[in-house]
């Protein structure tokens, strides 16, 4: 008999969930607005609703567990989420206990950092499935990261490993949201990348970007830059190449430290694809010590949000004892 699990992705805007069959993959998807300003009680209640709906869609007693990808810090036991950015008043919530109580049953529930969950999805279903070890980078509102080492999530001492977004590429660089100077998130985070571009468009009076945003540069997004780059716009290509250079630099530091040579890049900003990744590929070897330069690979993750839902469900399939991710 095929077994089922539910994967949940807690986003700042939407809560998404999917019913996943171990053999057949994603069966049903559903979502609700996060309404993050209403606080943790409300958000937890919304998650419970999504999960209950999907349990009803599965054959009775066939759902073996729930995996949840959450922003913020997740504790070592993978039960509790602390200080997720973008959700008001959320100090520390034991999601496992809260959901079990609300659902009225002791269904196994495993919580994991969302970037780690995306890496797990990629490891089982995406661009990471051909290698045992890779570094996952998610380029979105912020810059997230996860490490898959020998088919497991590398969690560090407390479950917080993989914070690539806060690695610095310039000890005197600009400050990202977290106050870390020169953190890569301060270059590649959506807001920072577009601000950098807005400051520089003055030198490109003929850029297509102006037309794409109908003159309102506040509307510029990485997507705009990608669209303009695709149309051959020199300004947009230069901005994305600038971002790719910084990405290659930080990935070089990560390769030096981990000796993991495959990198998978996902997340919304990665839609800009090779306009960012080719420059990153070009400079990466220059930021890696010669002994580790062979077989460097940067792949794009094309699964999109599915990677997170599949990865979250995989948490439940693999179970608590598997320490996550053993294939």
Q: Using CB under 8 A as the criterion, which residues of the chain lie in contact with its own copies when the complex forms?
A: 72-73, 82-83, 132-133, 145, 147, 154-172, 178-183, 245-246, 249, 252-254, 256-261, 286-292
DSSP 118: H
**Long-range pairs of 221-229 with CB within 8 A, sequence gap ≥ 24:** 221/190, 221/194, 222/139, 222/190, 222/193, 222/194, 222/268, 222/269, 222/271, 222/272, 223/268, 223/271, 223/272, 225/193, 225/194, 225/197, 225/272, 225/275, 226/271, 226/272, 226/273, 226/275, 229/272, 229/275
First to last CA, the chain: 20
Comparing CB distances to its own copies, the nearer of 210 and 261 is 261
DSSP 181: B
Bridge partners for 7 per DSSP: 18, 67
Least separation in angstroms between residue 310's CB and its own copies is 24
21 phi, psi to nearest 5 deg: -100, 140
Least separation in angstroms between residue 317's CB and its own copies is 24
Least separation in angstroms between residue 168's CB and its own copies is 6
Least separation in angstroms between residue 262's CB and its own copies is 8
Comparing CB distances to its own copies, the nearer of 103 and 258 is 258
Least separation in angstroms between residue 175's CB and its own copies is 10
CB 31 within 8 A of CB 8: no
Structure tokens that stand for 38 in this block: 């209403």
Least separation in angstroms between residue 85's CB and its own copies is 10
Q: Are strands 14-21 and 4-10 parallel, antiparallel or unpaired?
A: antiparallel
Comparing CB distances to its own copies, the nearer of 58 and 255 is 255
Comparing CB distances to its own copies, the nearer of 39 and 156 is 156
Least separation in angstroms between residue 305's CB and its own copies is 24
Distance (Å, whole) CA 163 – CA 137: 9
Comparing CB distances to its own copies, the nearer of 215 and 290 is 290
Comparing CB distances to its own copies, the nearer of 205 and 290 is 290
Comparing CB distances to its own copies, the nearer of 11 and 162 is 162
Contacts of 323 (CB under 8 A, 6+ apart): 152
């Amino acid at each position: 008999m095929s077994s089922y699990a539910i994967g949940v992705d807690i986003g700042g805007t939407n809560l998404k969930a999917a019913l996943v069959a171990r053999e057949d993959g994603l069966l049903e998807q559903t979502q609700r607005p996060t309404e993050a300003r209403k606080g943790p009680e409300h958000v937890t209640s919304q998650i419970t609703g999504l999960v209950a709906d999907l349990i009803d869609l599965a054959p009775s007693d066939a759902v073996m567990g729930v995996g949840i990808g959450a922003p913020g810090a997740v504790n070592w036991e993978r039960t509790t989420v602390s200080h997720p950015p973008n959700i008001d008043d959320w100090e520390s919530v034991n999601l496992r206990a809260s959901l079990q109580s609300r659902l009225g049953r002791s269904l196994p529930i495993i919580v994991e950092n969302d970037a780690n969950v995306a890496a797990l999805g990629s490891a089982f279903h995406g661009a990471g499935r051909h290698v045992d070890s890779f570094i996952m980078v998610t380029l979105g509102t912020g810059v997230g990261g996860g490490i898959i080492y020998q088919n497991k999530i590398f969690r560090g001492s407390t479950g917080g490993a993989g914070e690539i977004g806060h690695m610095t590429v310039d000890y005197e660089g600009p400050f990202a949201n977290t106050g870390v100077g020169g953190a890569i998130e301060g270059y590649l985070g959506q807001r920072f990348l577009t601000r950098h571009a807005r400051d520089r468009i003055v030198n490109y009076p003929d850029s297509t970007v102006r037309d794409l945003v109908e003159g309102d540069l506040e509307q510029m997004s990485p997507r705009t830059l990608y669209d303009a780059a695709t149309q051959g716009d020199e300004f947009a290509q230069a901005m994305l190449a600038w971002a790719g250079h910084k990405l290659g630099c930080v990935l070089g530091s990560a390769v030096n430290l981990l000796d993991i040579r495959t990198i998978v890049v996902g997340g919304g900003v990665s839609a800009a694809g090779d306009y960012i990744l080719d420059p990153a590929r070009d400079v990466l070897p220059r930021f890696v010590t010669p002994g580790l330069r062979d077989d460097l690979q940067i792949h794009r993750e094309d699964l999109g949000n599915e990677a997170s839902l599949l990865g979250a469900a995989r948490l439940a399939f693999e179970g608590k004892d598997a320490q996550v991710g053993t294939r």
